[in-house]
Structure 1
């Protein structure tokens, strides 16, 4: 069963920011409908208040629909919603004109003026802010959009019978409020795109690190095999020439070729073994750097220098796999790695917060779903054990224990005493 709030935990950081941004603009529509439309019931009669409320609610719904499509366009998921933008602009202008006409030629009363003028300014402010999400060349276009609505509001209100000083005040208010909402909308979109860009950069950096490691491995193989293969080719060619001449030295040359080939096999095995082995010190340093690059605070405590090579290799794989799981699953902010000696055993603990748990069984095991199973196999080769599971709300703990050889254990106990 999915825990409450699990849908939010399963989202990545960019997806969380996108969800927050979308619901913020939907909340603007709700605020417009409630703060402007429903507020008219306390300012004027029920018939006029109902009319104004319906107009405002229709405008708020159009704003929310346009905002959703404009955000999709901004993120490159659909074409620019040109028709929706023009429709929202026309609806905003019509509703503003209706409101100012009702203010000047509708029922008399101070409450009527207050209600209609709030609708007149409110629909334009929210409309301009929403349209700012879907325009190109934003700063130049926004200046024209905000200035155009402010100037139009002043002209229309003056033509409808509002005194020109009051019309200028209305135009100034719309200019300031429209500029603020437009800037807020543009900044929200910029922030959302920046978060996605940073997430893409983090993935690119991880891919580059993998590519660099592959290049290093390729260079090592080339250095080992290139020279030996060249010697094998030359000695084989020499052996062929000697054999054609019936010279007994051909056998000696082939024996040398065989020796070099066997040496090459040994060197390749050494290179591959070195590539596959994971030194604990190196893995801890690498994990600290990778986690820091991902914005995760890593705290490493304990001594690892005197551990046997096989123990370091096994625990190094634990650190590597644990770091991979932290980066791929959940939304961790802190990771703590502890290495300690306990009764002739070395205990490695990796604990992180921000676990995305959908089923209550902890994060996925790793690539192909066999990461933890592979670690148990590696640890079993040195008589080690592995435990992994939740350690509190949103916390996941992985503990590996490996027994130390008797000499190393005695030395460690003496040093500890």
Structure 2
């Protein structure tokens, strides 16, 4: 959400609070309160409204529990104290307390205390000893609870807008981190195995020369096939999971073990596995064969696949290992990656040693076989749902928002109905007005929930709603309670641009004029006009809230996907330099060695030496790149920061000449940059960011800061304070200052 959206949301919240406070004043003045009693009531009302707005301010949930309870208790005292002198109208401001209770109190207990406010209004009214009519008591309790829920919904607008704006950095970062981990995992599982297989075949060809030239040539041709496969795999890593199948891996495993002169017993029946299950089992088999080649002196290898009782079990066993720990599942990158992949489909991995045999077993339920491959894993990403308990926004998923909006609409309709029953005596008059109210509600619901897709349908609903609002004037002859509220909301929802506010104000003026012409009291004129405008504004605001929550749930995934695509392109460039170019050179040299085999075996032998050197360097590079993707690095954070800030609409300029950094300093600076990006997205309205580094100094600056110029303390701030201590550990210093609306944080090494 843009800062402007937050300001508009806060303006709506303040307008609604002031409007209902004004209605409270009108109610007590109409009840005859004057002089010192009125001044005392105004003082209490000022305290109630001020605390209510404070409770809805950004960060109120971060207050210590003692402060929140103290302010809520003070608001309760200011709400109920006027019952001693105001009279029946004392509870006009109790809705503010109900709304604050829903915001300030965390957890399910707030839904117990919320109705308790309404019950307190009822008890206080009965203790006054007034001749209350049952309908009046029902209306007082109902309107208190309705006002509280409405204020909770409208007041949450600004906080939700702020929290959703702040949370985007976490959402994008988690998506980028997941993509890095996916690529690191695939580098090991997919590309690493291919490089090992290529190396094995070229080493075998190298050893076969010159005694077995024909056999060496065959191995080199097989190696070229694997090189082509590895090139495709390297290109697919950044685009998604490769197209792997258990059937193909079974064939490759048999050929690889045969080439390595390992006796293989492969018993995989012609069962058809599809989708993610087939892919995962293929990866397990590939990793199992890789371990046989890399980590043992195997002479025998057994592979068996069985399907029993809805479970698929793949077992890979080989001899030639030293005595090993009984359970090795948590050891090694490859086994750890397999464990994670199997967990995604509800399976599990066991790895154990028995004597000189190593056993690897993968099990997964057969029911997962129809699931399509997940090209963009999201199970560990927050994109799929709200984090729990972090703030107001976490209480508002689309379903929760829809339910509360529906309750607010129904509550307003019930309040209007109670007004009709209370004000008018004739049964026919009441039934006619109630029928018109039902029509208005039937039109308002599809307008609020966006069910009407075409402008013509929305305008038709608005016209019908307006007709139903003004029709009862034909037999009631005076404006009836809340008659224009839903129409005002419909105008704000259907009409666009400045015209909506002109028509909205005109509707309020029409209600005022009708009330004056009907000869109603001044207090009733004011109440009818303000109620019309407030109801319209509230219904429009909660409709906006509903749309905002739904669109944000959709847009947050799009924002993260955009950052992931940028990260994927960056990694693709990096992998292209490390792998694709290198594999192309290996392929070229392999073709040359094959051609030289018949004419110049010695030159072919030399080319094989060069190929093996290239492959060993590439294996080292792959491990290094995969490690970088798994761990935080300054270079990676610079690229990630540029992607995240650009996705957030912030222009980034980077000028870095820091030179070589040791591992510890590299991690500290990467952490500093990550914290700075978080601060930019959370605490500013930045449109520009500059990242500069040279001569042992790194500076990150952003505009959009509304603070006085000068140095800023960092040691007592959580994020910057941690960075300051980290820099102390590497002999550095951290400085922060504001200059002409720019916030600059500098690390001196």
Q: So what's the TM-score if we normalise by structure 1? A: 0.52
State whether structure 2 residue 563 is matched by structure 1 residue 213.
no
- Deviation sequence 1:5-27 (CA, Å, 0-9, x none): xxxxxxx9988976775676566
How far residue 41 of structure 1 moved from its aligned partner, in angstroms, is 1.5
Partner of 2:30: 40
Work out whether residues 388 and 396 of structure 1, in 8 Å CA contact, stay in contact via their aligned partners in 2. Answer: no
1:248 and 1:304, CA in 2 relative to 1: closer, same or farther beyond 3 A? closer
Partner of 1:228: 582
1:319 and 1:190, CA in 2 relative to 1: closer, same or farther beyond 3 A? farther
Counterparts of 2:696 and 2:479, CA distance in 1? 89
Counterparts of 1:253 and 1:226, CA distance in 2? 19
Partner of 1:326: 679
Partner of 1:386: 733
Work out whether residues 132 and 185 of structure 1, in 8 Å CA contact, stay in contact via their aligned partners in 2. Answer: no
Matched residue of 2:413: which SS? helix
How far residue 228 of structure 1 moved from its aligned partner, in angstroms, is 2.9
How far residue 346 of structure 1 moved from its aligned partner, in angstroms, is 4.9
Instruction: List aligned pairs for 1:1-400, cutoff 5 A.
Output: 25=16, 28-32=19-23, 34-42=24-32, 57-58=140-141, 60-65=143-148, 67=150, 75-80=398-403, 85-86=409-410, 88-100=412-424, 135-137=448-450, 141=461, 143-157=463-477, 169=517, 180-181=533-534, 183-189=536-542, 192=545, 197=551, 201=555, 204-205=558-559, 207-222=561-576, 224-232=578-586, 247-262=601-616, 264=618, 278=635, 294=648, 309-310=659-660, 317=670, 320-327=673-680, 330-333=682-685, 346=697, 348=699, 350=701, 361-364=716-719, 380=730, 385-387=732-734, 398-400=745-747
Counterparts of 1:253 and 1:223, CA distance in 2? 22
Partner of 2:258: none
Work out whether residues 338 and 348 of structure 1, in 8 Å CA contact, stay in contact via their aligned partners in 2. Answer: yes
Counterparts of 2:612 and 2:693, CA distance in 1? 48
Work out whether residues 390 and 396 of structure 1, in 8 Å CA contact, stay in contact via their aligned partners in 2. Answer: yes
RMSD: 6.4
Work out whether residues 146 and 179 of structure 1, in 8 Å CA contact, stay in contact via their aligned partners in 2. Answer: no
Counterparts of 1:241 and 1:260, CA distance in 2? 19
Which deviates the most, 193-202 or 206-215?
193-202
Counterparts of 1:202 and 1:254, CA distance in 2? 51
How far residue 340 of structure 1 moved from its aligned partner, in angstroms, is 10
Work out whether residues 672 and 723 of structure 2, in 8 Å CA contact, stay in contact via their aligned partners in 1. Answer: no
Work out whether residues 348 and 399 of structure 1, in 8 Å CA contact, stay in contact via their aligned partners in 2. Answer: yes
Counterparts of 1:255 and 1:244, CA distance in 2? 17
Equivalent pairs, count = 337
Counterparts of 1:309 and 1:178, CA distance in 2? 67
Counterparts of 1:338 and 1:218, CA distance in 2? 24
Counterparts of 1:79 and 1:188, CA distance in 2? 13
- Deviation sequence 1:247-298 (CA, Å, 0-9, x none): 5555223212123325646876998999966499x88xx76x9668757799
How far residue 218 of structure 1 moved from its aligned partner, in angstroms, is 1.9
1:279 and 1:223, CA in 2 relative to 1: closer, same or farther beyond 3 A? closer
Counterparts of 1:193 and 1:400, CA distance in 2? 44
Matched residue of 2:733: which SS? strand
Which deviates the most, 186-195 or 84-93?
186-195
Counterparts of 2:598 and 2:401, CA distance in 1? 73
Counterparts of 2:552 and 2:425, CA distance in 1? 50
- Deviation sequence 1:64-118 (CA, Å, 0-9, x none): 255368769995425546576445424423323423559xxxxxxxxxxxxxxxx
Matched residue of 1:309: which SS? coil
Matched residue of 2:734: which SS? strand
1:19 and 1:274, CA in 2 relative to 1: closer, same or farther beyond 3 A? same
Unaligned ranges ≥5, structure 1: 1-11, 103-119, 403-417
How far residue 217 of structure 1 moved from its aligned partner, in angstroms, is 1.6
Partner of 1:110: none
Unaligned ranges ≥5, structure 2: 34-85, 90-129, 155-394, 427-432, 453-457, 481-512, 520-524, 708-713
Work out whether residues 401 and 545 of structure 2, in 8 Å CA contact, stay in contact via their aligned partners in 1. Answer: no
Matched residue of 2:745: which SS? strand
Work out whether residues 390 and 397 of structure 1, in 8 Å CA contact, stay in contact via their aligned partners in 2. Answer: yes
Partner of 2:108: none
Matched residue of 1:77: which SS? helix
Work out whether residues 224 and 267 of structure 1, in 8 Å CA contact, stay in contact via their aligned partners in 2. Answer: yes
Counterparts of 1:295 and 1:251, CA distance in 2? 56
